[in-house]
């Protein structure tokens, strides 16, 4: 099944609970937009494209569960629901992009239209967003495979596979496509602390596809880059500013610095919905700081790694300056510097 899917029989959202992987594959169902928002916050679902599609389905739930009898009343309820969903994860711009696209359907609807027809249109738009995501991911993969050659060793950070999207994936989708084409290569998978998305999710996906990999600790990436073992670095993004600065999972900045210092190209694979042209630079991107327990509750041989009374800081993302990015791989092609001009061209006519 897809990471996020609509249950037509019961009108509910189905999500793979990524917190339980790789040990257990469990599908959870959600019947209200409030529960969907909580699922996003609690990281039942994560990854910018998957979050966007999930939020869209959450708004469809709000429409279907609403008792509003007029278009105007339904619009007001949808705006309240969108506000709640918008606050669930502040860094991923796909969330805002998807919700704005959904709200536009309601705003452009003639007030004389039957309110049930608007509900149907809202659900249809959410399904369209989900279906488009799969097609967009595969287009990015086709553009990106030329950067992977036989014999390469790649470093991949966080999780950008099918679990981070509706299906297929962004950066890991490129790697998956290269494997499908018969290319032979090896992937070094950053653990991606503290939630270990690399060790838990990326490694699990690579195992499913039969792709050669090793899990490495985040702080060993510099060693593998410095010794010449690695030829390319791949990751996704939760938001890209107009100048090409990238907000991505914490650790991306350190990885990119080490790659550039060792003349290893750095590729960021993103749909154009992740590019936020309204922000001129990465310093304007909000950085989510998650609960300190995610750091403090880590265990080593079933024992906590921190002493009693310890406190922690837990930023979920960092900003990688555009000068460290070799190119962006999007569904509209590969984007090279100067990013401020070329990213805008890639997004042209696709954003409000």
318, β-bridge pairs = 248
- What count of residues does the chain have? 352
Q: ∠ CA 145-147-153 to the nearest 5 degrees?
A: 105
Supply 320's token pair.
Answer: 């990688």
Phi, psi of 190 (to 5 degrees): -60, 135
Of 167, 190, 218, 238, the active-site residue reads 238
Closest by CA to 127, choosing from 13, 18, 33, is 13
Could you tell me if 165 and 195 are in contact, meaning their C-beta atoms sit under 8 angstroms apart?
no
Q: Using DSSP, state whether 160 is helix, strand or coil.
A: coil
Identify whether 245 is a catalytic site residue.
no
Short-list 216, 214, 210, CA closest to 183: 210
Residues 6+ apart with CB under 8 A from 108: none
**What is the spatial distance between Cα 52 and Cα 160, in angstroms, rounded to a whole number?**
14
Contact predicate 91/246, CB 8 Å: no
CA angle 179, 184, 187 (to 5 degrees): 80
- Give the side-chain half-sphere CA count within 13 A for 59: 38
The set of catalytic residues is 238
């Amino acid at each position: 099944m897809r990471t996020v899917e609509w249950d037509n029989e019961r009108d509910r959202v189905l999500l793979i609970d990524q917190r339980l992987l790789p040990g257990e594959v469990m599908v959870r169902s959600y019947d209200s937009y409030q529960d969907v928002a909580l699922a996003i916050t609690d990281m039942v679902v994560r990854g910018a494209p998957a979050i966007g599609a999930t939020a869209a389905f959450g708004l469809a739930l709000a429409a279907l569960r609403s008792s509003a009898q007029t278009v105007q009343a339904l619009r007001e309820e949808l705006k309240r629901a969108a506000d709640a969903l918008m606050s669930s994860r502040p860094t991923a711009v796909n969330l805002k992009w998807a919700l704005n696209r959904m709200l536009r359907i309601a705003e452009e609807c003639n007030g004389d239209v039957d309110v049930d027809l608007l509900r149907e249109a809202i659900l249809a738009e959410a399904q369209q967003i989900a279906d488009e995501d799969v097609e967009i991911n595969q287009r990015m993969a086709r553009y990106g495979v030329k950067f992977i050659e036989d014999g390469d060793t790649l470093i991949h950070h966080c999780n950008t596979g099918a679990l981070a999207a509706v299906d297929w994936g962004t950066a890991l989708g490129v790697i998956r496509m290269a494997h499908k084409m018969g290319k032979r290569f090896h992937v070094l998978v950053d653990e991606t602390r503290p939630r270990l998305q690399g060790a838990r999710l990326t490694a699990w996906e690579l195992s499913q596809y039969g792709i050669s990999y090793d899990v490495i600790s985040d702080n060993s990436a510099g060693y593998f880059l410095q010794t010449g073992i690695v030829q390319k670095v791949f990751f996704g993004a939760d938001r890209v500013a107009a100048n090409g600065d990238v907000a991505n999972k914490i650790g991306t900045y350190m990885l990119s610095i080490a790659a550039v210092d060792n003349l290893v190209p750095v590729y960021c694979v993103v749909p154009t919905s992740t590019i936020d042209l309204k922000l001129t630079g990465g310093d304007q991107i909000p950085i989510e700081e998650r609960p300190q327990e995610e750091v403090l509750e880590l265990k080593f041989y079933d024992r906590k790694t921190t002493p009693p009374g310890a406190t922690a800081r837990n930023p979920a993302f960092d900003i990688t300056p555009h000068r460290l990015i070799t190119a962006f791989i999007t569904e509209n092609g590969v984007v090279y510097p100067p990013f401020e001009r070329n990213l805008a061209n890639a997004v042209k006519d696709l954003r409000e």
